[in-house]
Amino acid sequence: MRRFTLFISVFCFIFPTVAGEIFPQDCPAWSAAQLNRETHKLSEQLAQWDKAYHESGSSPIEDSVYDNLRQKQSKWLQCAGLPLPELTVPGGDDATIAHAVAHTGLNKLRDKQGVSDWMRGRKNLWVQPKVDGVAVSLIYRHGKLAALLSRGDGAKGQNWTVKAASIPSIPLNIADKSPELVLQGELYLKMTGHQQSVEGGMNARSKVAGAMMRNSISDQLSEFGIFIWSWPDGPADMQEHLQKLSALGFPEVSQFTLAVNSVEDVSKWRDTWFLQPLPFATDGVVIRQQEEPSGKYWMNKPATWAVAWKYPPARQLTEVSGITTTTGRSGKVTVILNLKTLKLDDKSVSKVSVGSVARFKSWDVLPGDQVAISLAGQGIPRLDDVTWRVSERPEINLPDPQQYDALSCFTPEPGCAQQFLSRLVWLSGPEGLDMAGFGGATWQKLFERISADSLVAWLNLNEKDMAAVPGISVKQAQKLAAQIQLARDKGFRHWLSALGFPTFALKFAEQRQNWRQLEQLSSGDWETKAGVGQKRARQVYGFIHHPQVMALAERLKQAELPAFQ
């Protein structure tokens, strides 16, 4: 599991305790006292998770969350000028058995170019799926299993031999009668038709680690498989290597170890294994050379003859950097989390919507908190979880949703800037007057420099006024002026929609031909003649007779728009 990233892992990936030098701008904008408090709180929680995991095999959080928080702890410690903790497996003599051959780690390559650079000049290369489980050593002496050890810190590991008899995939006897034969591989949870692209890792590694860490024998051990990825001092030729492993009782590795000649070959198999059903969870691929040094030279640090190219995670963890809100034309207040930018499927994500103010409060998320983000349908960022909350939680002042509705902010009065702008964007959009060039940025520029007291104040703008606005050229001002003129000639239905008239009644309203006829209809008329229910009839009547809407209609009448005469 992740809390022993240096001890129990898939091939043991090497994460620097802190990636490079920490600069002041990389540190939280907290006082020294708060930084110390937050670091102490996180360190205590990590220690509790480590203890629980070691004692019971319980997995309270996902591996990726733990790894992220462990790296966050290291960063905060450096920012505070405090020493970095030494990660060790808590207590017990069972963690001190020396490996006959050290477990190496794997450097992670960031992308296809990195893989190509590593492959350049190397020959006899092979690719394997990076099985997501727990790394172990199998030691056979004279054909009999003598030890099953966890990876531990790479030099020493825990003695799990007593559990081997309950794992049918591990042969207790093999045909090779050598004085000592060492195999290194991955204990994994057997699955049927597992699609990594659809189902993700399903915490398979934690399930294996949890069962192996328990003092008792778990029934789940019978569901484990073993994928041998290293045979130190075994056959030098890979084909012979694979054939002999199959003969010894480890057939899976032959099926999933394939020769590659280019980065395109590696990429093809990486994509294939990501998409197609497999008997285990994976989190990338491993590229390895056929040639390896003798086992006596292996050390518990990254190998030079093998590397990993991981899959992009289905979700990423990042920090909330701020909170903003938007108010739509209908008065709906939406809370936005601003994030430290992250990459998801080659998409840069810097913000995520959490919905209403009430929903935001239920999330209990504030700047400084760590959150998990994924992509929902159509690539829209989604908040999945708050993985860590800072201890200091000041109250955030947000707009009161009760102050906004479908009939508020037809004028840019205090507190109405966002909804008023949203109304303008709708007015000029395809469902309204379809005014090319009048997007949110253009409206913002115009009314930062030109005062407006109404949703239709722009009808009085001329080319000269707009050309004087910073960011609007003379040519653009000419085009905008032409659009204003075209808008004046739009039909009644376009104007009704632009003003925000209830969409369900537009068709009937259009048939009345002008605003005066609409004003003459009672709520009962709408119910009987338009065929809408009582509630909707009151909604339409309320819109038409709302003071701000009536003022707009009067402005349009004064502007001599035919539909409002």
Q: What is the CATH number of the domain that holds 338?
A: 2.40.50.140
Write down the pLDDT at residue 505. 92
Are 256 and 280 spatial neighbours (Cβ–Cβ below 8 Å)? Answer: no
Q: What is the pLDDT of residues 528-561, one digit of tens each?
A: 988 889 999 999 999 999 999 999 999 999 999 8
- The tally of domains found in the chain comes to 4
Whether residues 512 and 531 share a domain: the answer is yes
Q: What is the DSSP letter of 373?
A: E
Q: What is the average per-residue pLDDT within 229-241?
A: 96
* CATH at 303: 3.30.470.30
DSSP structure class, residue 305: E
Answer yes or no: do 552 and 475 share one domain. Answer: yes
Name the pLDDT band for 564 (thresholds 50, 70, 90). confident
Residue 221 has pLDDT above 60, yes or no: yes
Q: How confident is the model at residue 60 (pLDDT cuts 50, 70, 90)?
A: low
Pair 73, 162 in one domain: no
Residues 168 and 236 in one domain: yes
Nearest CA among 509, 510, 505 for reference residue 539: 505
The pLDDT value given to residue 4: 37
- Mark whether 64 and 106 lie in a shared domain: no
**Which amino acid does the sequence have at 28?**
P
Degrees, nearest 5: CA angle 271-276-280? 105
Contacts of 186 (CB under 8 A, 6+ apart): 10, 11, 131, 132, 133, 134, 135, 136, 226, 227, 229
Q: Which of 391, 424, 452 is a domain's end point?
A: 391
Same domain, 285 and 201: yes
Distance (Å, whole) CA 35 – CA 126:
47
Residue 172, in any domain of the structure: yes
- pLDDT above 80 (res 313): no
pLDDT grade for 58, boundaries at 50, 70 and 90: low
Domain-embedded: residue 398: no
206 touches 67 (CB < 8 A) = no
Q: For residue 87, is it within any domain?
A: no
**Is 20 a residue whose pLDDT tops 50?**
no
Residue that is last in its domain, among 256, 285, 310 = 310
* Identity of the amino acid at 415: G
**Where on the phi/psi map is residue 40: left (φ > 0), alpha (ψ -120 to 50), or beta?**
alpha
- Segment 263-274 mean pLDDT: 96
Indicate whether 383 belongs to any domain.
yes
Angle at 426 between CA 425 and CA 432, to 5 degrees: 125
Q: Residue 7 falls within a domain, yes or no?
A: no
Digit-coded pLDDT (tens) for 372-400? 998 887 778 999 999 999 998 988 999 99
Residue 363 shares a structural domain with residue 349? yes
Q: Is 2 inside any structural domain?
A: no
User: Is position 552 within any domain?
Assistant: yes
**pLDDT averaged over the chain?**
88
Q: Whose CA is closest to 234, among 155, 288, 273?
A: 288
CB within 8 Å of 500: residues ≥ 6 apart: 329, 330, 406, 423, 426, 543
In a shared domain, residues 270 and 321: no
Does residue 69 surpass a pLDDT of 60? yes
pLDDT at residue 15, rounded to an integer: 37
Q: Is the pLDDT of residue 323 over 70?
A: yes
Residue 230 sits in the same domain as residue 350: no
Residue 121 lies in a domain: yes
Query: Is residue 54 predicted with pLDDT exceeding 70?
Result: no
Q: For the ranges 65-74, 181-190, 441-450, which has the lowest average pLDDT?
A: 65-74
Q: What is the largest CA-CA distance in the chain?
A: 103
pLDDT in tens, 409-422: 999 999 999 999 99
pLDDT in tens, 129-147: 999 999 999 999 999 999 9
284 in the same domain as 342: no
- Shared domain for 266 and 203, answered yes or no, is yes
Pick the last residue of a domain from 288, 310, 332: 310
Domain that holds residue 546: 406-564
pLDDT band at residue 56 under the 50/70/90 scheme: low
Contact call for residues 352 and 382 (beta carbons, < 8 A): yes
- Indicate the pairing of strand 347-355 with strand 333-344: antiparallel
pLDDT at 128 over 90: yes
Confidence of residue 475 (pLDDT cuts 50, 70, 90): very high
**Residue 341 and residue 192 share a domain:** no
Query: How far is Cα 87 from Cα 99, in angstroms, rounded to an integer?
Result: 19
Beta-sheet pairing, 370-375 with 315-327: antiparallel
Judging by beta carbons within 10 Å of its beta carbon (0-12, 13-18, 19+), is residue 129 exposed, middle or buried?
A: buried
Q: Assess whether pLDDT exceeds 60 at residue 13.
A: no
Residues 105-119 pLDDT 10s: 999 898 999 999 999
Q: Which residues are catalytic?
A: 130
pTM: 0.67
